[in-house]
Amino acid sequence: LELDDQNPVTHLRLGYVCTQSGLLDEARFHLTRALDIEPDFAAALAALGYVYRRIAEKMEPTVERESMLNQAEGKLLEALNKSPKLVDDDGESWWGSLGGLYRRRNQIEDAIRAYERAAEVTPHSSYPFSNLALLYMQTSNRDQMLATYRRVERLARGETQADVDNYWAHADLLTSQLALGKVNQAEESLQSVLDVAPVDSPYVLELLADTLGRLTEALGGSRAVPHIAPFIERVRAEIVRRRNGQNGE
């Protein structure tokens, strides 16, 4: 890094690695440094906005948390105003991260609009549609939710065939199959999820467990869809297993 300390891309890459590993303070340092060097660096603005959102997620519901979310929104909007088709290192639209922020604030209509913008940027990605499906249910549109999950299943299957290590596509495929009641197929997808989930990023499995929990509620609760709970338990058990393994190293 000493040889490349003035290169904003170096700090962007380090920020990405730190974010994936949950080292959010370190990520914030590198992304802030990238912006010190190049203030209009849209990719660093968006990445810093995402880091702020992740930091806010760990905070109690206080004024400080809302302030952090405001900072996250500001950075993401600034980046997207500069570059509306900007995508992250996984090839996903940054509109999706903004949509996730709005969802956490319960700004459902704003979240839907943001994910729809993401879908325009990456129409062949299952990611924005998977998020839209749950949001449609929150607006009491069950038919649109199920139709969207059928689209998610088709897109995610294609993505996993094109790239067998695409964790997010495997997770979307699993979620869509559970939403559509395809339990046998979901069993196979869960194994793929656990096989390809990054070992140094427990956040991805935590996010999946949260998504499946929200799916359960959207479909009427655990009594209405009892087949989802065992999958959540297995994902959580894997999270614990990985944490215990890391602690034992």
Domain boundaries, the chain: 153-249
* pLDDT at residue 73 tops 90: yes
Q: How confident is the model at residue 3 (pLDDT cuts 50, 70, 90)?
A: low
| Displacement of CA 45 from its chain's centroid (Å) | 17
Residue 78 token pair = 């600034």
What residue type is 79 in one-letter code? A
Query: What's the residue count for the chain?
Result: 249
* pLDDT at residue 2 tops 60: no
Return phi, psi of residue 93, to 5°: -65, 140
Cα dihedral: 217, 220, 222, 225 (round 10) = -110
Task: Please state which CATH number belongs to domain 153-249.
Answer: 1.25.40.10
Measured distance CA(109)–CA(190) in Å, rounded: 31
Tell if the pTM clears 0.85, that is, is over it: yes
Encode burial over 6-34: b for 16+ CB neighbours within 10 A, e otherwise.
eebebbbebbbebbbeebbebbbbbbebb
Residue 208 token pair = 């999946």
To the nearest whole percent, how much of the chain has pLDDT over 90? 88
Q: Give residue 200's pLDDT.
A: 80
Q: Give residue 80's pLDDT.
A: 99
* pLDDT at residue 247 tops 90: no
Q: What is the mean pLDDT of residues 224-241?
A: 96
Encode burial over 98-108: b for 16+ CB neighbours within 10 A, e otherwise.
bbbbbbeeeee
Return phi, psi of residue 168, to 5°: -60, -35
Looking at residue 86, the DSSP 8-state letter turns out to be -
Measured distance CA(235)–CA(183) in Å, rounded: 15
Q: pLDDT tens-digit profile of 11-64?
A: 999 999 999 888 999 999 999 999 999 999 999 999 999 999 999 999 999 999
Residue identified by tokens 């490349």 is 4
Q: What is the mean pLDDT of residues 110-123?
A: 98
To the nearest whole percent, how much of the chain has pLDDT over 70? 97
